[in-house]
A and B are shown apart, each in its own frame.
Chain A
Amino acid sequence: MTATEGVEAAGEAAVVGTVGDPEPIERGTTARGPWARAWSRFRKHRLAFGSLVFCAFLIVIALAAPLIAPYGYEETDIQHKLAGPGSAGHLLGTDLLGRDILSRLIYGLQTALTVAFGAELTALALALAIGLLAGYLGGRVEQLLMAFTDVMYAFPSYLFAVVMVTVLGRSIFALVVAIGIASWVTQARLVRAQVMTLKEREYVEAARSMGAKGTTIAIRYILPNAIGPILVTTSFAIPAAIAAEAGLALLGLGVQPPTPSWGAMISEGSRYLLAAPHMLVAPAVLFALTLLAFTWIGDGLRDAFDPSGEQR
């Protein structure tokens, strides 16, 4: 580097933040998109970031369950039924049938996450399709779609879940459909509301004035700007779905035993609360921590996409 270059570089650095420069290079020239900015704000939210790490850890465990779990979820150790934590090679003890609780928790995590993510992805896809169509097209299509949404909204979701599980059997698929369909309605309304505000924005008009097609506008101009709030509600819907799965299991409508489910484990544990409290405590604590972590991620996302933080 020559001497002059060095001086120029120093001068440039000094310019940042000075007043009076007619065309200041605002906020640097590196292309940091809206996503990058949201991410950097998210990372500053310690609780949310910690929760994200925790949830990522849970997802890895769920994916690698057969490798990590010390026993199979059906494997019984008849010699050590209702063994306390730490005894006889069972870190969190065993249940009534002598099954390893830690292993069942790990497989139960798999169930919970599959149902929650499956249901919320289904809900999100439905909500995006219906909300975008209704909000963007308006008119008759909107009336029809929203009438349908309202009918679904009025339907008690647990009742719906009961019907679904009865029809489809007690399977993960049935739970995904039941919970997904129960939660897409609020999402669809949110998407529609977002689209309705965004389509009035001037850049949508500008895109039209440049000859953009309707689909281009919906996908390139409206959707990316609506995704923040949608992502936030989805992240809050995931813990709700985990809780819904547990709730249905408590009612005996969860996955078919012996496939482990946290809800079923909590329900079983509560029956032996005095004799073997570890049967209840372990799944309940993990359940609570998981819900908290997902909720905190939602909090962080909400702050990251908060429009009032947009201008800094």
Chain B
Amino acid sequence: MSDEALLSVRGLRTTFRRDGAEPLTAVDGVSFDVRRGQALAIVGESGSGKSVTMRSVMGILPRTARITGGQALFGGRDLLAIGDKELRKVRGRDIAMVFQSAMEAMNPTLTLERQLTEHLLWHGLCTKAEARQRAVRALGDVGIPDPEKRIRTYPFQLSGGMRQRAMIAMAMVTEPALLIADEPTTAVDVTVQRQILDLLAELKNRGTGVIMITHDLGVARYFCDDAVVMYAGRVVERAPMGRLLDDPRHPYSVGLLGSGVEVGGRDLPLRPIPGSPPDLSRRPEGCPFHPRCARAELPRCATEQEILTIGPGRDAACWKVAVDA
């Protein structure tokens, strides 16, 4: 297992075109690394830009979006620069994605066999007969009983938990190096949640790099090694998972932990962060969190935001953390 980053994103910036208005910056200078066999949690509220970040890297943004800066190095190539045709060969083969709801993410008109083998064939990874075998094996691997029989069914014929696992099998059948899971447990029951997380943890142990997009620190805690906290399109804190939970530094991270019902087995008093995330078209100047921040000090917080390194693999976008230290 090498320490070298599997995917290394630097200064990513994505904007959305709007009719009759300035483009909207949804992702603003985001950087992070994922290593082989490691899991990174990208944590943030809805609208914080976490999904747009990963869709930018995958090149599956909506038509109105444009990547205006940054790099995403993967296997020695910049995914943001290689063009859609080359990127399409990477998608599904080297980097795969798992979505929030398998019900939504699987084509209701295709059998599992079709959905699990098609991309193997698109990428020319094997013959049709081999593809079927690999698909059956992948279904078995995610714990679907009787995969030989199940492969002939349609998604709606499976229970919610099985469907979610089938979707993971769909992503894993090509044996990608990196798996991006976008809120994979949000739409499922608690019992199923646990199964899904165990499954992802097992993949990680086999050497797959995992990026988990989530708003739930409790889920991230379960198996992520590192965490990136996003707010209003920017990274506000980057830290090893355990450190973030024990000792969050950025006031937003502190607030996020305080608003979780139960994190790390400790019962913290529930303190919601006052206010609501900013409308990205009216992002506050300086640190975007300062209008909601209890520790904000004007005018400095409203004019600048600097990223401070506060330890190994740790930094926070708040000048106050330097004062704390």
Stretch at the interface among A27-35, A83-91, A284-292: A27-35
Chain-A contact segment, one of B147-155, B220-228, B244-252: B147-155
Do B159 and A33 touch across chains, with their CB atoms under 8 A apart? no
When distances are taken between beta carbons in the complex, the residues of chain B under 8 Å from A23 are 145, 159, 161-162
The segment from B115-123, B132-140, B281-289 found at the interface with A is B115-123
Complex interface: chain B residues within 8 A of A26 (CB):
157-159
- 11 A–B contacts, CB within 8 A, in A order: A26-B159, A27-B156, A29-B157, A33-B111, A203-B106, A205-B99, A207-B107, A211-B119, A211-B123, A212-B92, A225-B107
**Interface check A10, CB cutoff 8 A:** no
- A34-B108, A203-B107 known; A210 and B157 CB under 8 Å? no
List residues of chain A with CB within 8 A of the CB of B118.
210, 212, 220
* A207 to B: closest C-beta gap in Å: 7
Bound Cα distance A271, B127 (Å): 70
- Closest partner residue, chain A, to B64 (CB atom): A138
Given known pairs A26-B157, A27-B157, A32-B154, the reply for A210 and B104 (CB within 8 Å) is: no
- Which of chain A's residues have a CB closer than 8 A to the CB of B110? 220, 224
Establish whether residues A202 and B109, one from each chain, have CB atoms under 8 Å apart when the complex forms: no
Complex contact B109–A209 (CB within 8 A): no
A206 part of interface (Cβ distance < 8 Å): yes
- Structural contact, B104 and A201, CB atoms closer than 8 A: yes
CB proximity to B under 8 Å, residues A206-250? 206-213, 216, 220-221, 224-225
Q: How far is the CA of A224 from the CA of B154 in the complex (A)?
A: 14
| Complex Cα–Cα for A206 and B119 (A) | 11
Closest to A36 in B: B154
Is B60 at the interface (CB under 8 A from chain A)?
A: yes
Given A209-B96, A220-B110, decide whether A22 and B191 contact each other with a Cβ distance below 8 A.
yes
If A23-B159, A32-B154, A210-B96 touch, does A138 touch B91 (CB 8 Å cutoff)? no
Q: How far is the CA of A93 from the CA of B303 in the complex (A)?
A: 95
For the complex of A and B, list the 5 residue pairs with the smallest distance between their C-beta atoms, beginning with the closest: A210-B92, A211-B92, A202-B104, A209-B97, A210-B119
**CA–CA, A24 and B159, complex, Å:** 7
Give how many A-B residue pairs fall within 8 Å (CB-CB): 95
Q: Give B292-314 as 1s and 0s: 1 = Cβ < 8 Å from A's Cβ atoms.
A: 00000000000000000000000
A111-140 contacts to B, CB under 8 A, are 138-139
Report the minimum CB–CB distance from A215 to chain B (whole Å).
11
- The bracket for how many chain B residues form the interface is 35 or more
Query: What residues of A have a CB within 8 angstroms of the CB of B191 in the complex?
Result: 22
Of all chain B residues, the one with the shortest Cβ separation from A312 is B156
Q: Would you give the shortest CB distance from B111 to chain A, in whole angstroms?
A: 6
The interface of chain B, by Cβ under 8 A from chain A, is: 58, 60, 63, 88-93, 96-97, 99-101, 104-111, 118-119, 122-123, 145, 149-150, 152-154, 156-159, 161-162, 167, 170-171, 191
Taking a contact as CB atoms under 8 Å apart, the answer to whether B159 and A212 are in contact is no
- B153 touching A31, Cβ below 8 Å: yes
Q: With A31-B152, A31-B153, A139-B63 given, can you name 18 additional A-B contacts, CB distance below 8 Å?
A: A23-B159, A23-B161, A26-B157, A29-B149, A32-B154, A33-B111, A33-B154, A202-B99, A206-B105, A206-B106, A206-B167, A208-B60, A208-B91, A209-B60, A210-B92, A210-B122, A220-B110, A224-B107
Contact of B122 (CB < 8 Å), options: A28, A33, A216, A225: A216
Given the known A-B contacts A23-B159, A211-B88, A211-B93, are A202 and B101 also in contact in the complex, defined by CB atoms under 8 Å? yes
Q: In the bound complex, what is the Cα–Cα distance between A276 and B63 (angstroms)? A: 66
Residues of chain A contacted by B99 (CB below 8 angstroms): 202, 205-206
Contacts of A31 in B (CB 8 A): 111, 152-154, 157
Q: Which residues of A contact B97 (CB under 8 A)?
A: 206, 209-210
Q: Is the CB of A29 within 8 A of B108?
A: no
For residue B152, which residue of chain A has the nearest CB? A31
Kindly provide the distance from the CB of A52 to the nearest chain B CB, expressed in whole angstroms: 23
**Smallest beta-carbon distance A307→chain B, Å:** 10
Tell which of B63, B100, B109, B122 touches A213, judged by Cβ atoms closer than 8 Å. B122
When distances are taken between beta carbons in the complex, the residues of chain B under 8 Å from A225 are 107-109
